[in-house]
Amino acid sequence: MTRFSRRTLLKAGAAFAGVSAIGSPAIVHAQAARIKIGHLVPLTGSSARSAATPS
């Protein structure tokens, strides 16, 4: 089993955080212009009384 020093682990963590920060702007700008909001209504069962009947 390989043992790592605390300094080595901190360096590796800082390097990982730096690489992650470089890739994050691509994720942030990949959002859609609109947000779709939906509501699921049960069509069967005891909760279906308020559901609209399909035509």
CA 10, 12, 15, 17 torsion: positive or negative? negative
The answer to whether residue 55 scores a pLDDT higher than 80 is no
The answer to whether residue 51 scores a pLDDT higher than 60 is no
What is residue 30's predicted lDDT score, i.e. its pLDDT? 60
User: Where do the domains of the chain lie?
Assistant: 1-30
| CA angle in degrees (0–180, nearest 5) for 26-34-41 | 120
Which pLDDT tens digit goes with each residue over 7-44? 999 999 998 888 777 766 655 666 667 778 888 877 77
Angstrom distance (rounded) from CA 16 to CA 24: 12
What is residue 1's predicted lDDT score, i.e. its pLDDT? 56
Whether residue 51 contacts residue 40, with contact meaning beta carbons closer than 8 Å, is answered with no
